[in-house]
Chains A and B, each alone.
Chain A
């Protein structure tokens, strides 16, 4: 009799463990939705960059092939399409500052366009004050809470910083930089710079002092194959998109690897040559899933 009770108790405990573990597993990063071609937006071409505007709660996506910027609301419903009156040639990366002004990288022109919809102004940022060895080739761009603009200058392996009045302020030279590909700025003004070829992330403070370097080439967990973009979560987590691993790696503030999510695939929640990532204040993660011509949203 005692043995029977013992067995039943064990069985009940076992039944409880499975749902509990399932719950815990479910608390990881989950795929929410995807933005794919549709009747409103038509075919999506070569997708490049993303930006989530916290003030207006809009997600902006650059569709390079179709020379347009697409806007979506918080529910990922299409709102509008913007072509800057035909001024966009091959828009890649974009940001929007607190005044609602857009900055769009146009690498085929070697410029970053300033677009003020309200005042109907479209013009390239003036690079004449920037010391340059090679002609500037703008890569990813970022904006901080004070509306300073940060531009990856791939041809000179540095980050160019422009003040809110679009005057060249200073540069962050990345010593030993070989393949700078992305820059992000957190709420404290710390600058995160990703080097794809070096497989490293360097974190500088707002004064340009190096705080941290992490990342390494490793095909196993926690290492990089080909990192191409990074994002900084409001809580300090650092997400890095690895294009060739088709995954997103997550690190803490100290650069210690925590976990990775997603994998190579075509179905919802999987990635195929992902190329860009951004995170909003609510912790929602937006990824340009370039190989699948879509935007994947996780949280």
Chain B
């Protein structure tokens, strides 16, 4: 019995040794074979050898694992990569769910365009970045806007964008690392006497700092945004707000938008339209910043962002869809109010006027020599009038000139049958 047990133990031990050895051999032979196949790659790509040996080389590149990313024979993708770049990178870098799985995504990350920021082989910058610090961010973001201003926020001056922002995903708007007030409060205290005095002693600790301050740069030393609402500029807070000693100091006087209409009475006429953007409470602040703004007409941000971020989400998706690459230039510039009235309109789709007049504002010559349009030009399909948007989808189309159909034939035969 003891002999049998000993025999079994030895058998098991031998089996274990053989298994481990064969695994090591497979690993070694694989390493050797990758070495071998990498040598084949380096025969035609000799310049990569030095890069492979550099300090900041990507691990699979450094370990001669070319085929972990590239297909040596054929591929549907540029540079013979095995998969779309985003999916390819995430096939290894998927463990970082905490960093990658949050509510808001940086556009290149969401689009899978990792190479917009990272180099795939090696880089002298940390994290395989294309450039260091603000130099990378400024390749896409607002360099002129920020650098042209006299006063810069300290992290911006030092090129340390990641002091406040997350580069991949974030649970907070603006790709912030934490909630807005937390990010600001990590360096700035609102409780000091000077801070309280500069806010007229109003309890602003839980409000959005960026409602008034530009977090990057400004022409004003206190980083207040470029244009200020007059009562705000004159520090006459009680023109709109309750007294600082009241129960609700941040509350506004009067009901609803009456606080705005008190100084802007003519605005009420804008809303007396068939289609309007009225809402609840002080709905003006849905789009306008009542304190300070970097945009014309005191709107909270860029027009297209205001329109599409919270209400016209489907439009945002349509604009982002690459298939709709042909758009009206004003759409590409995000200038919604050139064609649409943001307050109200008596015309379809909140246009400034009827469709033809709206377009004719800019395209004066075109309306005089174009295909028949207007009340006497009837679309045989619908029996309605032909207007500019009968043929054009200005918000984005796959066809040239933002046409709804291909102009070579498909567009014409929608109406002109028999050709």
Contacts and interface: CB of A to CB of B under 8 A. Distances in A.
A80 to B, nearest CB: 21
Interface string B262-303: 000000100111101011110100000000000000000000
A12 B167 CA distance: 65
A178 B279 contact: yes
Given A107-B273, A267-B381, A294-B384, A273 B348 contact: yes
Interface stretch (B26-34, B117-125, B311-319): B311-319
B65 interface: no
A244 B315 CA distance: 9
Contacts of A132: 255-256
A90 interface: yes
Interface in A249-299: 265-267, 272-273, 289-294
Contact of A134 (B256, B272, B312, B382): B256
Given A108-B274, A157-B280, A266 B346 contact: no
A92 B274 contact: yes
Contacts of B190: none
Given A48-B274, A155-B280, A179-B279, A108 B314 contact: no
Contacts of B347: 46
A43 interface: yes
Interface of A: 34, 36-37, 43-44, 46, 48, 64, 90, 92, 107-110, 132-135, 137, 154-157, 177-179, 197, 217, 219, 225-226, 244, 265-267, 272-273, 289-294
B83 interface: no
Contacts of B273: 107-108
B98 interface: no
Given A43-B375, A134-B257, A155-B278, A219 B317 contact: yes
Interface residues of B, number: 36
B274 A155 contact: no
Interface of B: 255-258, 268, 271-274, 276, 278-281, 283, 310-315, 317, 346-349, 375, 378-379, 381-385, 390, 414
B164 to A, nearest CB: 29
Contacts of B257: 134
12 contacts: A36-B383, A37-B384, A64-B274, A107-B272, A107-B274, A108-B273, A108-B346, A219-B317, A244-B314, A266-B414, A293-B382, A293-B384
Counting from the closest, the 6 A-B pairs by CB-CB distance are A134-B256, A225-B314, A133-B256, A36-B383, A266-B381, A293-B384
A266 B405 CA distance: 13
A225 B257 CA distance: 29
Contacts of A177: 280
Contacts of B381: 265-267
Contacts of B255: 132-134
A134 B280 contact: yes
Contacts of B268: 135
Given A155-B256, A219-B314, A266 B379 contact: yes
A137 B276 contact: yes
A34 B381 CA distance: 12
A154 B383 contact: no
Nearest to B276: A137
Contacts of B278: 134, 137, 154-155
B319 to A, nearest CB: 12
